[in-house]
Amino acid sequence: MLSYIMRRIIGAMVVLLLTSVIAFAMAYLVPSDPARMIAGVHASATTLAEIRHNLGLDKPVPVQYVDFLGRLLRGDLGTSYIYDRPVASLVREKFLATLPLAVGAWLAELIIGIPLGIYTARRARKKSDYLVSGAALVGLSLPVFWLGLILLYGLGFKLPIFPLGGNNGFMSLILPSLTIGIVGAAYYTRLLKSSMLEVMGNDYVRTARAKGAGERRVIWRHVVPNALIPVVTYAGIDIGILMGGLIMTEATFNWNGVGMLGYEALQQSDIPVIMGTVLLAAVAVVLFNLLVDIVYVFIDPRIRYD
């Protein structure tokens, strides 16, 4: 078991290193001149050259990457060209704004999706199954920004129950979390239903029924725990993605988090901030993937035996 976990940790470190290389390369392929954006369109060639020298942009790209990696290992992500602030503190501040939204959206997905998945699996090929499965298919097709606008109009404007955007406390958290929750729950519903139907066909489930176990015990003792394994995998990836930023949702609800920070940085070619937000998203996804791999050791005995 220990060797399995160590392999996963080493693999996660390699993925993060490759991500830093790709993100660095993509950031420097952006056809823009940070020096020109800082100094303005009327800046002289001498001023531009001085700014590029101060930023280290006149060095060869491989040297710039080595310098970047060295700073990264010290926790230094550089300074934002636009905000003139350390990127690490800027990303940390926006991440703390995104964190409650990500957790709220993730919980909404699970609270809605898992019960519906269990219900549709138990009612397979009945009218209620077709109704819920059809609704889940529609949910998968809904653009997040469109659903968010509908909820804002209905529950924020026509019925002023919730605030019209902004991150101003618990009430402002509900609509954006529900927006992501409805769309994400559709996938959890379909995934869990498919997994449960597959597990129900296994020999140990038929054996439990043959021994006289009640349907409730068969479902909750034998089917659901085993069917949740792929759901746990997706949930780990999902929370990592949500932690990395929710651009469309944050833009729709005027939620000033990591997603909006990354979007604004792309518009203004703020390379250090672009790098910081990309690396945050990568770390979140890799970290939660690693946690899922470790949890697998305890929920799936086959890994321990291997």
pLDDT on residue 30: 66
Q: Where are the beta strands (DSSP E) in 93-177?
A: none
For residue 301, the model assigns a pLDDT of 61
Position 304 scores a pLDDT of 54
pLDDT for the residue 103: 92
Per DSSP, the three-state class of 180 is: helix
Average pLDDT per 10 consecutive residues for the chain, totaling 306 residues? 78 86 75 70 79 78 83 83 87 91 92 92 86 86 88 88 83 91 90 90 83 83 85 86 83 87 83 86 86 75 55
CB 261 within 8 A of CB 277: yes
The pLDDT of residue 290 is: 84
This prediction has a pTM of 0.81
CB crowding 82-92: b at 16 or more within 10 Å, else e: bbeebbbebbe
Q: Is 279 in contact with 21 (CB distance < 8 Å)? A: no
The residue to which tokens 């020999």 are assigned: 203
If you ran DSSP here, which 8-state letter would residue 41 be given? T
**Topology classification of domain 88-305:** MetI-like fold (1.10.3720)
Of 192, 195, 194, 196, the C-alpha closest to 184 is 192
Distance separating alpha carbons of residues 176 and 256, to the nearest angstrom: 12
Taking the domains of the chain in order of start, what are their residue ranges? 2-73, 88-305
- What per-residue confidence (pLDDT) applies to 137? 84
- Written as six digits, the tokens of 208 are 């439990």
pLDDT digits (tens, 9 = 90+) for 211-263: 888 878 888 888 888 888 888 888 888 888 888 778 888 888 888 889 888 88
Max alpha carbon distance in the chain (Å)?
Answer: 86
Question: What pLDDT is attached to residue 303?
Answer: 56
Q: Distance (Å, rounded) from C-alpha 188 to C-alpha 170? A: 25
Cα 129 to Cα 108: distance, rounded to the nearest angstrom: 21
Structure tokens at 122: 């138990």
As a whole number of angstroms, the distance between CA 296 and CA 55 comes to 45
pLDDT at residue 107 in the model: 94
pLDDT of res. 306: 52
